[in-house]
Structure 1
Amino acid sequence: LKPASSLPPSPRARARAAGPMEPTAKEARTEMPIGRKYNASLQQCMLRIKDPAVSVPFYEKNFGMKLIHRYDFPEFKFSLYFLEKTRDGQPLPDDIPSAASEKYLWTMPGCVLELTHNHGTENDENFKVWSGNQGKDLPTGSPLYMDGPNRGFGHIAFNMDDVEATSEALEKNGVKFQKRPNEGRMKGIAFALDPDGYWIELVPREKGLFKEPFNFSQVMMRVKDGPKTVEFYRDVMGMSLVREMVIPNDFTNFFLMNLSEKERGAAAEDQAQMPKRLWQPALELTFNHGTEKDDEFQVHTGNTDPQGFGHIGFIVDDLKAMCEELDKAGVPFFKRPDEGKMRGLAFVLDPSGYRVELIQRGMSIDPALLGKTA
């Protein structure tokens, strides 16, 4: 590692040198966050898809993900597919779906991509999901301008040692690209497209850390008020703000991660490199300066038309107790643990209105909901 004195100035330091400070997140509160008290850990990112027979093999073939569990809900006419980018040699259940694969899903330490399929969409020629990257908040001359919603969800990402070589290999396999590594202003990163048009960022990582070609590394969401949203995920949910990339008079990217006690004690310059050094993904919050002052502005969460992204989720040790504390803290709920037919989970809303699922660690779905009898 380079000594601190030889590290390049951080984006925040460059912003300071450039002039007046842009809006930034306040220092963390000193009391233990509710999420950390209950061992909350980022566990999933949910995307709606058109056809699982296309999307599941896409992620398996191109990014080495593995289907670790599946739910089918015949009454509600939808299915859920859970994919994990596992470590090489990691033991997995033999049968999917099974009681063993369900137990693995709700006790695993990693983060999954949850693909939601509403039955019948695969046969609907007019069906398509919204990737989150088209919206009316773009200039009207932009090819991504769309009348209607403001942009919301942005992308997922995978880290790799060589973005250029990986991009070439993916393109040979028929993967489409929104941006190649040598295109645009940001060189060295790329954006591939999945079968539904969701963006997948390809990010260079520190070489030699992992033998696996990829690790699932980011979930990005645009937010209305960056500092306020950081405070929610850091001071309430217990994540750590590891990096703050400021582009003066434009936007800020905040990177938050679930860290161990030892990792939380690392120097700031080391924490800033963790999104490229650690296996688990970061939550990237993109904040376009000024939207926090616009009473009319609201990001589109993807849960009303046009639909696409659904939610992120955290797995927790004691769902009931955590939800009671969140309720007392004034966190708004979309669904409480004892509401609806799905027990063992809840949904709160973050400051931008995104749904944040909370799942009881070790939970199991009522077999009756899966069309099974005892």
Structure 2
Amino acid sequence: MASTTDTKNYKFNHSMIRVKDPKASIKFYEHLGMSLLKKLPFPDAKFDLYFLGYDAPQSVSHGKEIWDREGLVELTHNYGSEADPNYKVNNGNRDPDRGFGHTCISVDNLQAACQRIEDAGYKFQKKLSDGRMKQIAFVLDPDEYWVEVIGQKSVEETEGVTTTDPATYRMNHTMIRVKDAEKSLKFYQEVMGMSLYRTNENEKAGFNLYFLGYPGEKGVPQGYQADREGILELTWNYGTEKDEKFSYYDGNSKDSEGRQGFGHICISVDNIEAACKRFEESGVTWKKKLTDGRMKNIAFVLDPDGYWIEVVQNERFSGKPNF
């Protein structure tokens, strides 16, 4: 393994959320076309991790090692939560504890895909027919996390199509809200090494959307990005940066009702020691350095809003498993 690091090799590997009942959650995400790729049990600490992603032959990361992928969802299950009638997560979208917004899948035929989800009995936060934006829907997972559903083709092109193939779906992006767009954009580009793909300005509604990612071999996408995975969406509501008391909920501290929810996003790197040294030289705030605690193969950086960013070794560069 090389002793240096190059952000061109980095990948937005996964997004972690806590779940009440892993069986129900896995069933839901498998209905969205994902496969359970890996389970990491930690019985001594009384929790298990489940990694799901798209793995059909035509998928972006088909056949690759876990840490050499983008667009994974990590489910964290703390033992006993499934039997606790009072256990609930914070989905990131309820005041006053907003922060994380949603994950997003892109599908082949939007109307047919949404109908298939509805036919399976899953609830929607927003159907295609709701509101003015007829090209997006939001389905609720078993813990009421929002999953945005967008089309890989225009809604006009798929109007009337009744078939859909989950093997063609993508885990397109993860959205988090940020207080100061300028600070967050600088952090994710200059420190984390991402590229800004697209900006969506919504002046009348008072917010902007910024889409970032690691271009990799495909390069920075031009125009529509629904065929890609591993994208980070930052949502900035105008004026929040001017309020000294304002902050978003990071998902890991206890919220106003004692709940947790979203845990972190994760990037995989070519050389974790060199990457962490680079982050250190960039002046990052650490939640956990490599040398902290028992797990010496992962680190956590804090972004400007206090969201956790896990850093792991891409096994393709090290030639040995992480766990």
TM-score range, shorter chain: 0.7 to 0.9
Whether 1:180 and 2:100 are equivalent positions in the alignment is no
Contact 1:252 1:287 in 2 (8 A): yes
Task: Pick closer, same or farther for the CA change 1:262–1:214 going to 2, 3 Å.
Answer: closer
- Within-5 A mapping of 1:1-374: 36-37=6-7, 39-60=9-30, 62-88=31-57, 104-106=65-67, 108-136=68-96, 149=97, 151-206=98-153, 212-248=167-203, 250-260=206-216, 263-264=219-220, 271-273=222-224, 275-278=225-228, 280-305=229-254, 306-362=259-315, 364=321
Contact 2:7 2:192 in 1 (8 A): no
Please give the per-residue CA displacement for 1:197-248, whole angstroms capped at 9, x wherever unaligned.
Answer: 000101111379x973411111000111112111111122111111100111
SS in 2 for 1:285: strand
Contact 1:38 1:322 in 2 (8 A): no
Task: Pick closer, same or farther for the CA change 1:38–1:331 going to 2, 3 Å.
Answer: farther
Please give the per-residue CA displacement for 1:330-369, whole angstroms capped at 9, x wherever unaligned.
Answer: 1111000111111211000011110000001226456xxx
- Counterpart CA distance in 2 for 1:213 and 1:277 is 9
Contact 2:56 2:62 in 1 (8 A): no
Report the number of matched residues: 301
Following superposition, the deviation at residue 262 of structure 1 comes to 5.7
Cα RMSD between the aligned structures? 2.3
Task: Pick closer, same or farther for the CA change 1:176–1:35 going to 2, 3 Å.
Answer: farther
Share of identical aligned residues, percent?
Answer: 41
SS in 2 for 1:164: helix
- Counterpart CA distance in 1 for 2:54 and 2:218 is 24
For structure 1, list consecutive stretches of 5 or more residues without a partner in the other structure. 1-33, 94-102, 137-148, 265-269, 367-374
Aligned counterpart, 1:16: none
For structure 2, list consecutive stretches of 5 or more residues without a partner in the other structure. 158-163
Counterpart code for 1:302: G
Following superposition, the deviation at residue 312 of structure 1 comes to 0.2
- Counterpart CA distance in 1 for 2:125 and 2:69 is 32
- Counterpart CA distance in 2 for 1:256 and 1:185 is 26
Following superposition, the deviation at residue 304 of structure 1 comes to 1.2
Contact 2:58 2:168 in 1 (8 A): no
- Counterpart CA distance in 1 for 2:321 and 2:216 is 27
Contact 1:152 1:301 in 2 (8 A): yes
Contact 1:342 1:365 in 2 (8 A): no
SS in 2 for 1:241: strand
Contact 1:38 1:318 in 2 (8 A): no
> TM-score when scaled to structure 1?
0.76
Following superposition, the deviation at residue 89 of structure 1 comes to 6.4
Contact 1:44 1:313 in 2 (8 A): yes
- Counterpart CA distance in 2 for 1:242 and 1:89 is 24
- Counterpart CA distance in 1 for 2:283 and 2:140 is 38
- Counterpart CA distance in 1 for 2:262 and 2:233 is 15
Task: Pick closer, same or farther for the CA change 1:164–1:119 going to 2, 3 Å.
Answer: same
Following superposition, the deviation at residue 162 of structure 1 comes to 2.2
- Counterpart CA distance in 2 for 1:365 and 1:277 is 29
Following superposition, the deviation at residue 325 of structure 1 comes to 1.6
- Counterpart CA distance in 2 for 1:38 and 1:339 is 27
Q: Which has the higher strand share?
A: 2
> TM-score when scaled to structure 2?
0.87
Rg: which structure is higher?
Answer: 1
Counterpart code for 1:58: F
Following superposition, the deviation at residue 74 of structure 1 comes to 1.2
Task: Pick closer, same or farther for the CA change 1:261–1:170 going to 2, 3 Å.
Answer: closer
